[in-house]
Amino acid sequence: MDVNAKGVFLGTKAAIAEMRKTGGSIINISSMSGIVGQNYIQPVYNASKGAVRIFTKSAAIQYAKEGIRVDSVHPGPIDTEMAGEHLNNTGLQRKAEQRVPLGRTARPKEVAYGVLFLASDESSFVTGSELVVDGGMTAQ
What is the tens place of the pLDDT at every residue in 83-113? 666 666 666 667 777 889 999 989 999 999 9
Of 84, 34, 64, nearest to 128 (Cα)? 64
What is the tens place of the pLDDT at every residue in 21-57? 999 999 999 999 999 998 888 999 999 999 999 999 9
Strands (E), 1-140: 24-29, 68-75, 130-133
What is the spatial distance between Cα 84 and Cα 89, in angstroms, rounded to a whole number?
A: 8
What is the spatial distance between Cα 104 and Cα 123, in angstroms, rounded to a whole number?
A: 28
Length of the chain (residues)? 140
For residue 71, name the pLDDT band (cuts at 50, 70, 90): very high
Q: Which of 40, 45, 63, 113 is catalytic?
A: 45
Domain that holds residue 135: 2-139
The 10 Å CB-count burial string (b at 16+, else e) for 73-107 is bbbbbbbeeebeeebeeeeebeebbebbeeeebbe
When divided into structural domains, the chain yields a total of 1
- Cβ contact 27:39 at 8 Å: no
Angle between helical axes of 43-63 and 7-22 (0-180°, round to 10): 20
CATH number at residue 103: 3.40.50.720
pLDDT of residue 89: 61
User: Could you confirm whether 45 is annotated as catalytic?
Assistant: yes
